[in-house]
Structure 1
């Protein structure tokens, strides 16, 4: 039976082993629409780009059976950047917003269509914000293939060769990141020697163009090692540090206002809806206990470094003869304090 603890108590404030794959299916979107789950922004000057779905002839990914045969192509829906803003230091970006990638391989096809100032297309990766990211880009107008990084809004010296990149033709672009190692390939060949850089170890992935370049992208997919969320790692560490714990769970409201389990010692609970008790802990900033036959669960607010409640922490303890709510709470507070020290902002719950 749940009982509200009325006493006022002050509380001080990697990676998974399996691989995953993500494919961007532009074919499911209507022509003229913007793809979902992406954010359009700009680095440098000018307005954000105009990203939308168009139709174009795209060659088959499979080589023809006969060496003398012409590769077949089909009209398909592809992603296009169509803004013709001629501002020189103008870099439209379209960022995939649903995942942060650490180690990965991203491949895409691109086609430079037109542009008076520039005819370029590329990928941004390990993106933090408009002023901090890596980019590899190909220029049909300059016949160059370059890598550079932007840190604090300052662009590094570009690295890469001069190479023929015909406009109006589809090309393959690939980037592989593993730890601090970066490999960039064009049309199946590593065009830049392996790079080593420690500026960004994880971030988002997106598409890049420059100035008035109209560029198309297709057949984009990412193979990656999913990163263990910070909250889940903290829960796992606490279960090791406190071996007498029977269970540990963090529940929070996501952007959709849905209360979900975001970290748990029982991974089958991940993503499930939170309870009314956990909702009350967050909304009312209260402490609760629930007694079981051989256990007691303490529900506490998890607060950020400013003292704001950002989640509900559920700590399941083995009960003993003479167990009271007060001493169960006293046993739980050190765990709450350690977790709060490692999850100091709401965003850390979902990273």
Structure 2
């Protein structure tokens, strides 16, 4: 079976240039089942959202030139079907495990029903269920609003009054570049560009409120792939110490019995297994040393923000006549110190 998510290299893009695009092919997913690879979450109280793939009539992206041809077609959509009338009830459907920094997301959506609320929207740069941005539309209040959620508290809502018809398909789009956020509804930018530094990257989710029944389809994300912290740390350290022969960061994996390389200046090394000495560095915070005819290898612990060993940094250097373990460690320590200084600002080394 083909995968449900397609990756496309972008050659040109209207507006900011992104390196890749992801689209979600709902047609490959079983009808009346939860969409594969997505994760249902709930902010607030009440029952979890009831997210399923269903079929619905969706207007064609390009209407037929023939007056006799229909302008709608049956299409797979993601539907939030729960009608829980709890007020502080926000079902979320996270679009996979990918973390996005700079991106443009576009989705079509339809607000179908709701007694208390009639809303549909997007949560983005999502850290967890209590920290993210929201762009949403309401067919009850006829408005589009942007706001942030920090530690579960909803911030100031901003956005205009906009006629939003229930039962009709609309389009929401959000573009994030650095700390700049642009929000559009039906192809028009409806909120002045927002400048905010609260969240720089995170996951993306579909969003509804209370008893809103809403559908989503044609979900597309054009984005710059997010570089993991440890990989960027290795790259920056190699630039600062150009005489090094290499840096590998080794960490324990919950899915295996031993350590593996999780970041390296050599892409082919990533994912390769470590050895028992690497495990000693991570588990006990010790240092290890070995050498061959041309190179020396010193592995030192990299500690998390709490001071506990979280990974091992293997520093690879050229050997020289008279090279000893002691002076090799002295050479390697400034490298790891430079890396260690960056760690306290990071919540999760493996992100």
* TM-score when normalising by structure 1: 0.85
Given that residues 303 and 344 in structure 1 are in contact (C-alpha distance below 8 angstroms), is that contact kept between their aligned partners in structure 2?
no
Given that residues 44 and 91 in structure 1 are in contact (C-alpha distance below 8 angstroms), is that contact kept between their aligned partners in structure 2?
yes
Q: Secondary structure at the match of 2:164?
A: coil
Q: Which position in structure 2 is the counterpart of 1:183?
A: 182
Let me know the Cα RMSD of the aligned residues. Answer: 2.6
Q: What's the CA shift for 1:315? A: 0.8
Q: Secondary structure at the match of 1:160?
A: coil
Q: Which position in structure 2 is the counterpart of 1:304?
A: 304
Q: Which position in structure 1 is the counterpart of 2:153?
A: 154
Query: Gaps spanning 5+ residues in structure 2: where?
Result: 1-16
The yes-or-no answer on 1:206 pairing with 2:205 is yes
Q: Secondary structure at the match of 1:141?
A: coil
Q: Which position in structure 2 is the counterpart of 1:295?
A: 295
Q: Which position in structure 2 is the counterpart of 1:327?
A: 327
Paired with 1:251 and 1:241, the residues of 2 have a C-alpha distance of: 20
Q: Which has the higher contact order (CA 8 A, sep 6+)?
A: 1
The yes-or-no answer on 1:197 pairing with 2:190 is no
Paired with 1:68 and 1:184, the residues of 2 have a C-alpha distance of: 36
Paired with 1:24 and 1:56, the residues of 2 have a C-alpha distance of: 16
Structure 1 residues 174-224: Cα deviation after superposition (integer angstroms, max 9, x where no partner): 111122222212222222333333332322211110101111111111111
Structure 1 residues 216-265: Cα deviation after superposition (integer angstroms, max 9, x where no partner): 11111111112322212221222222232111111223454485432212
Q: Which position in structure 2 is the counterpart of 1:113?
A: 112
Q: What's the CA shift for 1:322? A: 0.9
Given that residues 304 and 345 in structure 1 are in contact (C-alpha distance below 8 angstroms), is that contact kept between their aligned partners in structure 2?
no
1:259–1:27 CA distance, 2 compared to 1 (3 A): farther
The yes-or-no answer on 1:250 pairing with 2:249 is yes
Q: Higher mean Cα deviation, 40-49 or 240-249? A: 40-49
Given that residues 103 and 179 in structure 1 are in contact (C-alpha distance below 8 angstroms), is that contact kept between their aligned partners in structure 2?
yes
1:144–1:69 CA distance, 2 compared to 1 (3 A): farther
Paired with 2:167 and 2:18, the residues of 1 have a C-alpha distance of: 38
Q: What's the CA shift for 1:103? A: 1.4
Q: Which position in structure 1 is the counterpart of 2:131?
A: 132
* TM-score when normalising by structure 2: 0.85
Paired with 1:306 and 1:200, the residues of 2 have a C-alpha distance of: 22
Query: Gaps spanning 5+ residues in structure 1: where?
Result: 1-16
Q: Secondary structure at the match of 1:349?
A: coil
1:66–1:181 CA distance, 2 compared to 1 (3 A): farther
Q: Which position in structure 1 is the counterpart of 2:83?
A: 84
Given that residues 303 and 311 in structure 1 are in contact (C-alpha distance below 8 angstroms), is that contact kept between their aligned partners in structure 2?
yes
1:237–1:152 CA distance, 2 compared to 1 (3 A): same
Paired with 1:33 and 1:157, the residues of 2 have a C-alpha distance of: 36
Q: Which position in structure 1 is the counterpart of 2:269?
A: 269
1:346–1:97 CA distance, 2 compared to 1 (3 A): farther
